[in-house]
Amino acid sequence: MATKSGAAASKAASGATRSRSRKATTAQKSRTQKAGSTNYSADELLKYYRDMLLIRRFEEKAGQMYGMGLIGGFCHLYIGQEAVVTGIQASMQESDSVVASYRCHGHMLACGMDAKGVMAELTGRRGGYSKGKGGSMHMFSREKNFFGGHGIVGAQVPIGTGIAFAQKYLGENSVHFCYLGDGAVNQGQVYESFNMAALWKIPIVYVIENNRYGMGTSVQRASASTELYKRGMAYGIPGVQADGMDVIKVRDVAREVIQKVRGGAGPYILEVMTYRYRGHSMSDPAKYRSREEVQKMRSEHDPIDQLKKLILDNKLGEEDALKKIDREVKDIVSDAAEFAQNSQEPDPSELYTDVYAAPL
């Protein structure tokens, strides 16, 4: 009887151990699974939260400094669109490259460019990425494979196509990401680029950031065809549309697209449906849309708020951890603003440097 009792106790203990093990495994899985079909980790979500928040706070500070007269010229803010570049960047390889339009501060930060250097360039200082000569729309980082902001609508598309062609010609297993807006898709040079990319199966993803307005004109008023991801059909370029207010959805669609392009399928069009909260530029009062429209997007679809809710609801992070990230981001942006204001202005002789690829 004693032996049977011991065996029963052992069996019960073993069962309890297996039960605890199953519970532990279930708890561990809950830290990495999404409600739905997509998997992610807590660390990934916290990183996306930090990256998007950095872009948001940086742009808010840039808007402040513009209002104070510390930033001159044109300045186009990315507030509201943070999930687009964050989700796509999360799906890229280090060797992949990027070219963007004039609304490009967020792309620079997402590529890993230092906030101090970006802010210093906005203020036209020597410590900026283009040594104070490029300003908001024209700074570059070869080290981070970021080939600019470009001020002319659609001008970055043939440039990006050329960069992607060079990568293929050199035998690199890289994908190029060319960002353009909904207003640029009606430009002739965009279709010339589509034709060349399709003809030579160039490894490029054309990312159309559809924020619904080209300056003050809605897509419906400017485009006969509003399904912009289908614009490459005449050239045999496939396309897909993603929810640009959800960083996870952007990332997942981007991963599928990149896999095809890197596998040799040729160019692809990725249209992301997003929304900018501010005007086209700092001088735009945005009277072409109602305050209620903007508020509805902020309250129901804000990409940062949605991710924060996902993290907290699924117990993938604590409120204290998010507050810590908030403080860290605030410090980074404050330091960047201070650096930009204290950095020296470029010497006039700087006008003659970097004009040619090699010195004459």
pLDDT in tens, 16-71: 444 444 443 343 333 433 333 458 899 999 999 999 999 999 999 999 999 999 99
pLDDT given at position 333: 99
Measured in whole angstroms, how far is the alpha carbon of residue 241 from the centre of its chain? 16
35 class by beta-carbon count within 10 Å (0-12 exposed, 13-18 middle, 19+ buried)? exposed
pLDDT digits over 203-225, tens only? 999 999 999 999 999 999 999 99
Measured in whole angstroms, how far is the alpha carbon of residue 145 from the centre of its chain? 14
Q: What residue ranges define each of the domains in the chain, with the CATH number in brackets?
A: 42-344 (3.40.50.970)
pLDDT given at position 224: 94
pLDDT given at position 38: 59
CA distance 224 to 107: 29
Are 52 and 135 contacting, i.e. CB atoms less than 8 angstroms apart? no
* Low-confidence residues of the chain: pLDDT under 70: 1-38, 360
* DSSP characters over 54-77: HHHHHHHHHHHHHHTTSS-S----
Are 196 and 236 contacting, i.e. CB atoms less than 8 angstroms apart? no
